[in-house]
């Protein structure tokens, strides 16, 4: 979690095979961004996690879209160093703690933030950030939680244009999204473009 707070950007990759996953990870590393989240909504996520960790042991590789305990177990078996979910599931959160996997649940309301804090989660995915109301909503919703130590990772609709405004908010530890690893760019195997997008993100 500390490393995520230092890097401040989590590129989310939805890729179709492990070769592409490896190229994407390499392209991110070239830019100096040694973190990646593979979403389990793509069947290649687990082989990608394993392969990237083997090739780049120092890369912080996480698993996203962990909707249930089975997904959580699969992420752990693949070697993921952190887990992310779009929503809040107490069973999954407790299991993640039990298995010592740093876990970032998704929230979109004050009630969900309270429930996440109640079980000890302090890094929360604010999702889907832009559709919910963007920086303005996050700023407003953060106020009652300022003293709790909670931190947000806005995700959903984040771009190079709007990321800086989120990163300026005191309770935002990082931003996440697919804009650094666009699916069409991966399909074209344009790895240099991914390095360029990662460098542009880091320059924020």
List 18, 37, 46, 130, catalytic entry = 37
Residue nearest to ligand 3PG according to CB distances in the complex:
177
Count of residues near ligand 3PG by CB under 6 A: 10
Cβ atoms 77, 101 nearer than 8 A: no
Q: Using CB under 6 A, which of 11, 64, 83, 105 touches ligand 3PG?
A: 64
DSSP string, 109-160: SHHHHHHHHHTT--EEEETTHHHHTHHHHHHHHHGGGGGGT-EEEEBSS--T
Cβ atoms 163, 201 nearer than 8 A: yes
The reply on whether position 158 binds ligand 3PG by CB under 6 A is: yes
If one counts every other C-beta atom within 10 angstroms of the C-beta of residue 1, the result is: 14
Q: Which part of the chain contacts ligand 3PG (CB under 6 A), choosing from 53-61, 94-102, 132-140, 174-182?
A: 174-182
The reply on whether position 178 binds ligand 3PG by CB under 6 A is: yes
The reply on whether position 162 binds ligand 3PG by CB under 6 A is: no
Q: Using CB under 6 A, which of 17, 157, 190, 204 touches ligand 3PG?
A: 157
Measured in degrees and rounded to the nearest 5, phi and psi for residue 33 equal -105, 95
What residues from 4 to 33 belong to the interface with ligand 3PG (CB under 6 A)? 12
**At a CB cut-off of 8 Å and minimum separation 6, what does 187 contact?**
none
List 18, 46, 81, 125, catalytic entry = 125
Nearer to ligand 3PG, 10 or 147 (CB): 10
* Residue 151 C-beta: closest distance to ligand 3PG, Å: 17
The reply on whether position 105 binds ligand 3PG by CB under 6 A is: no
Strands 82-84 and 60-64: parallel
Q: Using CB under 6 A, which of 102, 156, 163, 175 touches ligand 3PG?
A: 156
Q: Is 37 a catalytic residue?
A: yes
Q: How far apart are CA 31 and CA 40, in angstroms?
A: 24
Q: Is 125 a catalytic residue?
A: yes
Strands 106-107 and 123-126: parallel
Nearer to ligand 3PG, 31 or 181 (CB): 181
Nearest Cα neighbor of 138 from 163, 104, 101, 103 is 163
Which residues are catalytically annotated?
Answer: 37, 125
Residues within the interface to ligand 3PG (CB under 6 A): 12, 39, 64, 155-158, 177-179
């Amino acid at each position: 979690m500390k490393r995520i707070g230092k890097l401040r950007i989590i590129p989310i990759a939805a890729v179709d095979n492990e070769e592409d996953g490896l190229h994407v990870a390499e392209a991110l590393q070239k830019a100096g961004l040694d973190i990646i989240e593979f979403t389990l909504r793509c069947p290649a996520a687990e082989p990608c996690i394993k392969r990237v960790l083997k090739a780049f042991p120092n890369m912080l590789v996480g698993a996203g879209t962990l909707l249930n305990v089975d997904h959580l177990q699969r992420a752990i078996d693949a070697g993921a160093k952190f887990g992310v979910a779009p929503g809040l599931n107490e069973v999954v959160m407790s299991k993640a703690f039990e298995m010592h996997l740093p876990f970032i649940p998704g929230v979109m309301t004050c009630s969900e933030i309270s429930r996440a804090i109640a079980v000890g989660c302090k890094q929360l995915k604010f999702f889907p950030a832009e559709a919910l109301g963007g920086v303005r909503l996050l700023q407003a919703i953060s106020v009652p939680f300022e003293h709790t130590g909670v931190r947000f990772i806005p995700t959903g609709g984040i771009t190079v244009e709007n990321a800086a405004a989120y990163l300026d908010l005191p309770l935002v530890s990082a931003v996440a999204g697919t804009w650094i690893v666009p699916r069409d760019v991966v399909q074209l195997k344009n790895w240099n473009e991914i390095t360029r997008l990662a460098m542009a993100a880091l320059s924020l």
